[in-house]
Amino acid sequence: MPMNPIRLISRIKPIAFWHLLKLALPHLAYLWPTYRATKTCMRLSTDYFGKKHYQNGQANAFRHALWNVLIAKYCTTSTKAMARALHWAKKITDWHEETFFGKELPMKMDYHNNEVGRNLFEGHPQWSQIVFVQKLLVLTENAIKINPETDLNQLKNHLVYITDDH
């Protein structure tokens, strides 16, 4: 399913759109790389998992971590820029969660998997895209199923999921 920016924007409430503008204006140079990262992430997630990455299973964990890796990777133009790109990746993906979703456990899962992706990139910025994908596929195979009582602080380097992929 191709990404339709007009349809996506039409789903955004005015206040959330205003927050996006405030978030994006200081980071205009990151908008195109973020768009490219998002398209690449969606394509790769579909290539590896079909539509399963739209559910709250392991495939979704992979997608969220990869999305953050790719945003940071595509926005990093130098070693000095890495911290700023990671900060942007967190801000834009947090905005996405807050704007489009609202269920507590799925949001916790997504925030956690987003952070796993950013941490992976921060630890290995020199890796190629394909190496990140390979490493994330291994993490996906070993992802841990969580419930509302799960302490995510104990799972810092693990992808997590809620429902089994069918």
Of the pLDDT bands very low, low, confident and very high (cuts 50, 70, 90), residue 135 is very high
| pLDDT tens for each residue of 52-68 | 998 999 999 999 999 99
**Domain-located, residue 166:** no
| pLDDT tens for each residue of 64-86 | 999 999 999 999 976 678 999 99
Q: Which helix (H) or strand (E) holds 145?
A: strand 144-145
The pLDDT value recorded for residue 166 is 53
Phi first, then psi: what are they for 4, rounded to 5°? Answer: -110, 100
**Domain-located, residue 52:** yes
Joined tokens for residue 151: 């302490």
Q: Is pLDDT of 115 > 50?
A: yes
- β-bridge mates for residue 161, sequence order: 145
Domain extent, residue 29, equals: 5-161
CA distance linking residue 144 with residue 138, whole number of Å: 12
**Domain count for the chain:** 1
**The residue to which tokens 């940071």 are assigned:** 72
**Domain-located, residue 146:** yes
Dihedral (CA of 141, 40, 14, 21) sign = positive
Joined tokens for residue 82: 């890495």
Angle of helix 82-100 relative to helix 58-75, nearest 10 degrees? 140
Q: pTM here?
A: 0.85
Q: Is pLDDT of 16 > 70?
A: no
